[in-house]
Amino acid sequence: MISKKRILIFFSACILLIFIVYLALSLYITTLAIKATRKLPDSNPASVNLNFQNVDFYSEDGIRLNGWFVPNKNLDTVIIIHGVDANKSDGYILDLMKDTYDMGYSVFTFDLRAHGDSGGKNLGLAYEEKKDLKASILFLKQEFDVQNIVLYGISYGGTIVISNSNLDESIQGIVVDSPFYDLPELLASEVSSRTFIPEFLAKLLKFGIIRSVDFLYGIKTDDIISGIDSVNEFNSPVLLYHCKYDERIPISHSNRINKFLPPNSEYIIYDNCDHANGYEENTVDFNKHLESYYKNSFY
Question: Strand, coil or helix: what is 124?
Answer: coil
- 186 domain residue, yes or no: no
Indicate the number of domains in the chain.
1
Residue 241, CA distances (Å) to 9, 64, 88 in order: 56, 30, 20
Average per-residue pLDDT for the chain = 91
Question: Which pTM value belongs to this model?
Answer: 0.90
The pLDDT of residue 7 is 73
pLDDT in tens, 213-260: 888 788 888 888 899 999 999 999 999 999 999 999 999 999 999 999
The CATH number of the domain where 74 resides is what? Answer: 3.40.50.1820
With helix as H, strand as E and coil as C, how does 262-278 read? Answer: CCCCEEEEECCCCCCCH
Question: Strand, coil or helix: what is 187?
Answer: helix
- 4 domain residue, yes or no: no
- 276 domain residue, yes or no: yes
The pLDDT of residue 1 is 54
Burial zone of 170 (CB within 10 Å; 0-12 exposed, 13-18 middle, 19+ buried): middle
Does the structure show a pLDDT above 80 at 133? yes
Contact 294, 78 (CB under 8 A): yes
- 212 domain residue, yes or no: no
- 5 domain residue, yes or no: no
Q: How far apart are the first and last CA of the chain?
A: 85
- 193 domain residue, yes or no: no
Backbone angles phi, psi at 270, to 5 degrees: -110, 140
Does the structure show a pLDDT above 90 at 265? yes
Within 8 A by CB and 6+ apart from 247, the residues are 274, 275
Contact 58, 144 (CB under 8 A): no
- 281 domain residue, yes or no: yes
pLDDT in tens, 177-211: 999 998 777 777 777 776 777 877 777 877 887 88
Beta bridge partners of residue 78, listed in sequence order: 107, 150
- 176 domain residue, yes or no: yes
Range of 101's domain?
Answer: 39-181+224-297
Tell me how far apart the alpha carbons of residues 10 and 18 are, in angstroms, rounded to a whole number: 12
